[in-house]
Amino acid sequence: MSKIANNAEKYIWMNFKMFLMQYPTCFLDNILKVKDENAELPVDRYEDFINSLEKHVSLGNYTIDQAELFSDLPYVTMNIAAIPTGECSTRVIIGFDITFTTDSPRPDRNQSLQYVGNSPEAVASFRANIANGLYQIFHGAMDDIDPNMDAAFFDRLRDQTLANPIDPTKTRAWKYNIVGQVDEDNTISDVEQLKREDRSSALSVFHMVFKMDLNRLYGDGEDCGC
C-alpha cells in the first residue's frame, strides 16, 4: 500500500477540521448555533464553538459510543477510503452521513437538539443547505478570493500561516499539505428513516459522497507523491 494511501485519512481529516475552524461556512450554519452572524471567525460566530464542533462533526470510523453519537443533532460523520492507483495518484472516496431529527424538541429534552421541521419542504431545505455547504467546501473554498477558482478546503490551507482557532493572535505554519483534485461527480442520497428502539423520536439520515485524486502529501515529516 502506498504512503499516500496510508496517510490520506489523517491529512484529509486534519485539513477538513482546520478549514471549519478557520472560516465560517454555510455547512456549519446549519449544524451549530450561530450567536453572531456577522462574525468572521468561527470561534466568534458559533456558540461554544470548539466543544460544539466536537459534538456535531467527527471522523466516523472512530466513533465508539453510539448512544453518545446521537446525543447532539444534527450529527455528521466523515468517512475516508483511499485506493492506490499509481505511483503519483491515489483515488479517495469521502463520504458523509448526516443524521438529524425532524421533530421539535420538548422542554425536557437536550437543549442542543436542533429542530429541522416536519414538513417535506423543511426536510428538503435542510438537505439542500447541507449539500450546498459541503459542495462549497470541496469546490468553492476560495470564492471570497476568486469566484472563478475551483478550489477545495485543502487548497485554501496549503502552505499558509494559520491563526490558532481559539486565540487568533497566535499563528503557526500549516504542516498537513495536500495536492489533489476533487471530481465533479459528487452524489447525494435520498433521506432515509432510522429505527432505534432506544429513542422515542425518529431519526433520519442522508449521505453525500465526494471523489478526488490525491497526488501529493507533504509536511509533518512526510513527503510522498509527485
pLDDT tens digits for 176-225? 999 999 998 899 999 998 765 545 567 889 999 999 999 999 999 899 88
Q: How many CB atoms lie within 10 A of CB 24?
A: 19
pLDDT category, 146, cuts 50, 70, 90?
confident
pLDDT in tens, 48-89: 999 999 989 999 866 555 545 556 888 999 999 999 887 678
Cβ contact 80:94 at 8 Å: yes
Average pLDDT over residues 85-109: 78
Given this model, what pLDDT does residue 67 score?
Answer: 47
Q: Which helix (H) or strand (E) holds 114?
A: none
Q: How many CB atoms lie within 10 A of CB 123?
A: 17
Beta bridge partners of 61: none
Given this model, what pLDDT does residue 120 score?
Answer: 87
Q: What is the C-alpha to C-alpha distance for residues 182 and 196, in angstroms, rounded to an integer?
A: 35
pLDDT category, 116, cuts 50, 70, 90?
confident
C-alpha cell at 162: 494559520
Examine the pLDDT at 128 and tell me if it is beyond 80. yes
Percent of the chain with pLDDT over 90: 61
Single pTM value for the model: 0.90
H helices within the chain, ranges in order?
Answer: 3-22, 26-29, 42-45, 49-56, 66-69, 120-139, 153-157
Examine the pLDDT at 134 and tell me if it is beyond 90. yes
Sign of CA dihedral 114, 119, 125, 131: positive
In whole numbers, what is the pLDDT of the chain averaged over residues?
87
pLDDT in tens, 39-48: 989 999 999 9
71 compared with 165, residue with greater pLDDT: 165
Q: Where are the domains of the chain?
A: 3-225
202 compared with 136, residue with greater pLDDT: 136
195 compared with 8, residue with greater pLDDT: 8
C-alpha cell at 199: 429513542
Examine the pLDDT at 156 and tell me if it is beyond 90. yes
